Structure 1
Amino acid sequence: MFWGALITCLFVSILCFLFSYLIWKKREFSLIAGYNEESFKGDKEKLAKSVGLFLLIIGLLTLLLPFGLEFIGSVAGTLFAIIVIVGTIGLIIYINKI
Structure 2
Amino acid sequence: MVTKQLIAVLLIGSSLILLGAGFWLKKSIFLIKQYDESSIADKEGLAKSAGLYVMVIGVMIFLPAFLSQLIGIYAWIVFGVLVSLSSVFMLRVMTKYV
The TM-score normalised by the length of structure 2 is 0.89
Tell me, what secondary structure is at the counterpart of 1:52?
helix
Moved over 3 A (4+): none
Tell me, what secondary structure is at the counterpart of 1:79?
helix
Q: Is the 8 A contact 1:9 1:65 kept in 2?
A: no
Unmatched 5+ stretches in structure 2: none
* 2:9 equivalent to 1:35: no
* In structure 1, C-alpha distance between the alignment counterparts of 2:68 and 2:2, rounded to whole Å: 9
The TM-score normalised by the length of structure 1 is 0.89
* Corresponding position of 2:71: 72
**Identity value in percent:** 32
Q: Is the 8 A contact 1:20 1:56 kept in 2?
A: yes
Unmatched 5+ stretches in structure 1: none
* In structure 1, C-alpha distance between the alignment counterparts of 2:13 and 2:25, rounded to whole Å: 17
Q: CA offsets per residue over residues 36-94 of structure 1, 9 Å max, x none?
A: 11222x21111011111111111111122211111111110011111111111110111
* Corresponding position of 1:7: 7
* 2:43 equivalent to 1:44: yes
* Corresponding position of 1:24: 24
